[in-house]
Every structure is written in C-alpha cells, then in structure tokens.
C-alpha cells in the first residue's frame, strides 16, 4: 500500500487548514496560490512517503486528494445552512461559484435576462454568487445613495498597472478626491465649450448622412461614429475622423468591443486577472487600447493648454490642485471617458431611434415639439441648448428609452465591508463581506415601480397629467399610473453617479433634434428590427447588432 495510514489524517487536516486560510484571508496572488496549492501538498507528499510503492503514484494521490478535499470543503460550506447567505434562494451553480455567471456572460451575453428571470422566480433578493446577492427591493436606493456602500470587487478589472481609473476606485474618500477635476471638467462653464463641440460634431453627422440618402445605412454604426468622434474631441481634442471618413479606418470600434467582452466575464472572477496577464494574447486588445491612449495623450500634450477639454481639467492645467496628477492616471481616465461615454451614448441613441421606428405613432408628435422649440430658419440648422432640456415629450421619450434599454444593463455592485455589522435593505439583512448587485434592466421593468404597461414603450408615463391616454386609446386617471423616478438609475446614483450625465443627455437631445428636423427616417429591414432586442448582449456596456434605415431629406 503506497498511501500510508497516517495520510488519511494528515491530508484532510492540512487541506482543511488551507481552506480556512482561503476563507478568512482570501489570498489570490500567484505566490500565495503556489505556496498553498503547489508547495504545501508537495511537502506533504514528501513527508508521508513511506518508501514503498511508486513515488509518482503517491505524489499524484496526495495532490489529487488534497485538491479534491479543498473543493469539497468549499462546496459543502457554500451550500450548508451555516453560510451567512443560506437564507436567500438562488440556483445551485450560482451558490457554488461566480464562474457560472462568468460562463453565462462569455457564452451568451444574456446575464440581464438571466438575472431578471431569477427575480421573477425567487423574489426581491437572489443569491447570484457564493457571497453575492442581487436585490430589487426599493430600499436599495439607500445603498447606492450619498451614504451608501463602497463599490465591490466587480470593478477591479478596470484597474491597470499604471494606475486606477475613476470608475474602478472602490475607496469612497479617494474617489471623492479624484472626482474633483472631473467635477470642474463637467461644470456649467466647461459645458459651454462642450456645447460648441456637440454642435460641430452633430454638424459633421448631418453632413455625412446627407451624402448617404441613396441607400440604406446601419444607424447603430453611425451612432458609434458620432459617440467616439465627439468624445475624442471632448476628452483630448483628438479627431478620430469616423464621421468624415464614413468608416473606422483604425478599427477602433471592434477593438473596444473585444476589450469590453473580455472585461465582462472577467469581472465576475476578478482573482483571475493576475493569472490571465501572463497568458500571451489574452490582454492584446487592452494593450492596443493603451498604446492608442498613450499616442493620443502625446498629441494632446503637443497642442498645449489652450483648449479647455477634459484633459485640461484632469491634468490641472489651470493649477487648482496642490499636487500635479500622474500623466498615466490621466491617460487612463481619458480613455475611460472615450470608451464609457462614447459607447453608452451611441447605445442610447440607437435604442431611441429603434423605439421611434417601432412606435411610429409618436414620430410626428415628437417632431412637432422639436420644430416648435428649435425652428429651422432659411434651411440652416443651429442648436439652441437653452431649449433642449425644456421639451417635455422629448425628455419623456428619452427617459422611456433609458428605462427599457439602459446602456449598462446590470453590473452595479456594492459591498458590505467587514466590521460594519451588516446592512438592512428593507426587511432583508445583508451580512458583512457580501457583494450586493442591482440590475437596472430588471428594476426598470418591475411593475411595482412602473405600471401599467411595464414592458411596453409608453413615454407618456413620464409626463405629469391628470389623466393618461393608453396606446390602446383607453383613458386612465393619474392615480393608476406608477412612475417611480427614485428607482430610475440609467446613469447610476449617489456619489458615483456618471460624471458625464448632463453632457450625455445634451448629446442625445441634440442628435435627436438634428436628425428629426433634417431627415425622414424609415425602416430598411424588418427582420433586423424584429431581432434587435434578442441580439442585445451585455458586456459591461451593451453590444448591439445592425439597425438598417433609409434616410431622405425633409422637404
């Protein structure tokens, strides 16, 4: 017998000690993992070898037994009634490992639908990981508000060796400090400069589309061109030339799409980052983005500080801060602005025009409001930014679009830190060291917060009226309409709310006004429109399919 009798005690005890080390300290560095999973069982097999039988077979048996017991202890505890989250229901595979959600994201991109189905089955609180719950109870507002919880480890994948982007900072005090230049870069004075850029970029969009009225275009693709062109100007005074060229000659959009797909699944298993970095080719998309970012920053530095773009504020070129920021960190934040701001705005605009073409009964109503508020004089077009926020139906249309199709479908994660004693969300107690997630897609489609017609595009729900006309023609009193604005969070909420929220809404309103005043727009492929929602995939932001339309100049 090559497996000595004392091994039956030593191997289970040693693996149990290792399990408790993992459970309490959560080591994830390659060195600690090598020590606990490689060297420890190796030393154990050397110590226990009795001199008889095959050495290789003995070592193999010890290693397999050691690892198998670790897995057994882990699964047994996570499924046991002693686990702090045992009271909350959830699928078996979710309770065992977050790898299951990572698999769903990587293979289907339908995590938003998966989470929605779980809540329909289990209720307000669903266990979606060994130490994570998804919550739809209305009191989640307090968790992400001004006195809310810090971000969870989901955001660790946004960190880089050169520094951490604003979006990835989990420490609330540090986030507040880093957000100061962003606040200056998004205040009313800065917005005046950005409005000029919005008007210029919208002008480029309209001019390019006027040359393409003879055949169908992919509207979703052109919204991407607009989003990245504008954010390039706004963040670094850099012209990507997507609108003027009519195509993406640098391959920027597929590059970002591939990078975001990688981030989407890795975010659920952030401990894997330290290992994936050492696998050739895994981080190639992010390395190329980094190289493009460095190149863009160098060009911007060469321009000097004469332009009050976002880089001007992030680099503190007006000398507001006592300590000059790190150029590498500023480059990362600038890339964040371009990727997050450009892609989400493009998604929102694509959804808006999809809704407009799927519900043509609202087209003339919206166009009349726009024409009355921003008239075209002598065939020339000029945006009046003071009037854009004051159009009730346009804003209702945008809100309803963002309600049904938030650009970030889910993934808003917070953490109840150790030593806090836990946190109540309504009647539900959330223990320490638990991640709490909120899915905008699920919450925005909850009939407790938005009714009637919860899953129907009905912009009138956002208007203040004494009675409402339903799409069917029926009339109901205001008392029967529930529109809970407090749980509407397409831009997040609280201290980590999207810094560019006001700017994004300005872009959306501007493009909607410009295109509806300039063009008649029609569906070019019914099959593509029918498949639009089914083809949406969550990859932190939203992956979209094609949206073919015909454009013709209004007479």
**Binding site members for heme:** 498
Q: Nearest to residue 511, comparing CAs of 144, 222, 173?
A: 222
**C-alpha–C-alpha distance, residues 284 and 461, integer Å:** 46
Cross-strand bridge partners of residue 126: 134
**C-alpha–C-alpha distance, residues 285 and 256, integer Å:** 7
**C-alpha–C-alpha distance, residues 459 and 344, integer Å:** 21
**Which letter does DSSP use for residue 377 in this model?**
B
**C-alpha–C-alpha distance, residues 502 and 189, integer Å:** 13
Say if CB 85 and CB 133 are below 8 A apart. yes
Rounded to 5 degrees, φ, ψ at 209 are -70, -30
Q: In what order do the strands lie in the sheet with 125-129?
A: 125-129, 132-135, 434-438, 412-416
**C-alpha–C-alpha distance, residues 384 and 497, integer Å:** 26
Contacts of 509 (CB under 8 A, 6+ apart): 388, 389, 391, 394, 395, 398
Contacts of 302 (CB under 8 A, 6+ apart): none
**C-alpha–C-alpha distance, residues 392 and 366, integer Å:** 10
Say if CB 492 and CB 166 are below 8 A apart. no
Token pair of 299 as six digits = 């060009």
Say if CB 468 and CB 460 are below 8 A apart. yes
Cross-strand bridge partners of residue 424: 429
**C-alpha–C-alpha distance, residues 389 and 412, integer Å:** 27
Q: What separation, in Å, do the N-terminal and C-terminal C-alpha atoms of the chain show?
A: 92
Q: Residue holding tokens 């409001």? A: 369
Say if CB 543 and CB 109 are below 8 A apart. yes
The region, left, alpha or beta by phi > 0 then psi within -120 to 50, assigned to residue 297 is alpha
Going by the annotation, the residues of the binding site are 498
Say if CB 143 and CB 101 are below 8 A apart. no
Token pair of 190 as six digits = 């800065």
Separation of CA 430 from chain center: 24
Outline where 211-337 has alpha helix (H). Answer: 219-236, 242-245, 252-266, 273-276, 284-303, 310-314, 327-336
> Would you call 378 helix, strand, or coil by DSSP?
coil
């Amino acid at each position: 017998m090559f497996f000595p009798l004392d091994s039956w005690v030593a191997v289970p005890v040693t693996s149990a000690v290792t399990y408790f080390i993992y459970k309490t300290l959560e080591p994830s560095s390659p060195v600690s993992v090598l020590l606990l999973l490689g060297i420890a069982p190796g030393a154990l097999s050397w110590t226990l070898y009795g001199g008889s039988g095959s050495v290789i077979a003995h070592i193999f048996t010890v290693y397999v037994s050691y690892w198998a017991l670790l897995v057994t202890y882990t699964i047994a505890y996570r499924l046991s009634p002693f686990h702090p989250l045992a009271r909350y229901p959830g699928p078996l595979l979710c309770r065992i490992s977050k790898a299951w959600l990572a698999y769903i994201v990587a293979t289907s991109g339908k995590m938003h639908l998966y989470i929605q189905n779980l809540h329909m089955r289990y209720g307000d609180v669903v266990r979606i990981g060994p130490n994570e719950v998804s919550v739809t109870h209305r009191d989640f507002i307090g968790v992400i508000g001004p006195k809310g919880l810090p971000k969870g480890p989901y955001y660790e994948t946004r960190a880089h060796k050169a520094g951490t982007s604003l979006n990835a900072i989990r420490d609330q005090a540090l986030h507040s400090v880093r957000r100061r230049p962003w606040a200056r870069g998004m205040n009313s004075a800065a917005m005046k400069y950005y409005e000029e850029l919005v008007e210029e970029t919208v002008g480029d969009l309209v001019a390019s589309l006027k040359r393409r009225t003879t055949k169908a275009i992919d509207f979703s693709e052109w919204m991407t061109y607009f989003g990245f062109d504008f954010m390039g100007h706004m963040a670094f005074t850099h012209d990507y030339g997507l609108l003027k060229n009519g195509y993406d000659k640098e391959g920027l959009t597929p590059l970002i799409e591939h990078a975001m797909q990688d981030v989407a699944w890795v975010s659920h298993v952030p401990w894997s980052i330290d290992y994936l970095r050492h696998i050739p080719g895994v981080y190639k998309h992010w390395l190329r983005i980094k190289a493009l970012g460095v190149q863009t920053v160098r060009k911007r530095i060469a321009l000097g500080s004469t332009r009050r773009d976002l880089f001007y504020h992030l680099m503190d070129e007006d000398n507001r801060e006592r300590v000059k920021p790190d150029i590498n960190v500023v480059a990362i934040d600038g890339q964040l602005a371009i990727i997050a701001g450009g892609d989400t705005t493009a998604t929102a605009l694509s959804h808006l025009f999809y809704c407009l073409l799927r519900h043509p009964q609202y087209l003339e109503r919206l166009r009349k409001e726009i024409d009355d508020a921003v008239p075209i004089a002598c065939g020339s077009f000029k945006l009046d930014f003071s009037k854009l926020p004051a159009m009730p139906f346009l804003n209702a249309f945008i809100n309803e679009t963002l309600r049904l199709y938030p650009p970030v479908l889910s993934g808003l994660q917070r953490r109840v830190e150790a030593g806090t004693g836990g946190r109540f969300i309504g009647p539900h107690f959330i223990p320490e060291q638990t991640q709490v997630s909120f899915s905008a897609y699920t919450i925005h489609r909850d009939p407790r917060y938005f009714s009637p017609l919860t899953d129907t595009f009905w912009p009138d729900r956002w208007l203040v009226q004494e009675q409402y006309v339903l799409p069917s023609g029926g009339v109901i009193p205001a008392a029967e309409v529930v529109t809970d604005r407090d749980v509407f969070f397409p831009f997040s909420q609280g201290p980590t709310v999207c810094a560019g929220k006001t700017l994004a809404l300005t872009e959306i309103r501007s493009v909607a006004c410009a295109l509806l005043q300039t063009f008649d727009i029609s569906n070019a492929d019914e099959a593509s429109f029918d498949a639009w929602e089914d083809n949406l995939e969550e990859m932190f932001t939203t992956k979209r399919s094609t949206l073919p339309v015909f454009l013709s100049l209004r007479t």
